[in-house]
Amino acid sequence: MKKNTMLLIVLSLFAVFCSACGQAPQAEDNTGLPNPLKETDAEGIMQTLGLEFGVPEGAGEVSYYIINDETAEMRFTVDTARFTARIKPSAEFEDISGMYYDWTATDDTRKVQHCNARNMSYLSETEDDVMVTLWYDTAPGLMYSLSAVDNDLNGLDLQVLANQIFIPVQENAG
């Protein structure tokens, strides 16, 4: 009887020890953290940030967001491709696209209206293709990005859409 009781205690302790070892550390409770992405509309972006997007011809499913109370975002579709445009007051050229890929091609010879632009693309045989155009308007100090994601972006010229999105000299920015 003593052997059975001792064996039961040892097995119980072993089970408790094994279950404690196998548990992953508990993640912090982030339920109280504010979401940096706030859904809004075009008027809300204008009132909050003083920024404005041009909506491209043929755009569907248009939605607007403000990120961290400093960056305006517009999402939309054209055909099956998904696009995201962003505007952020900035003192310099920076990548605000939120796209972090090992770009397969970069082209710094393009323009969006009067602004120099950088095009980057990641074309994949197994995943969605991704393209980004970045441009900086020095007069008001605004950084822009336009990104596209679809299963085949070959032949897409983002400058056509970027020129429709870009509204030069936004006086109320920042």
pLDDT grade, residue 156 (50/70/90)? confident
Total domains, the chain: 1
Whole-number Å distance between alpha carbons of 29 and 160: 44
Domain that holds residue 103: 37-165
**Domain annotation covers residue 17:** no
**Domain annotation covers residue 15:** no
pLDDT, tens only, 72-112: 999 999 888 899 999 999 989 999 999 888 888 899 988 99
**Domain annotation covers residue 8:** no
Whole-number Å distance between alpha carbons of 174 and 171: 9
Q: What is the CATH number of the domain that holds 124?
A: 3.40.1000
pTM above threshold 0.85: no
**Domain annotation covers residue 1:** no
pLDDT, tens only, 46-77: 999 999 999 999 999 999 999 999 999 999 99
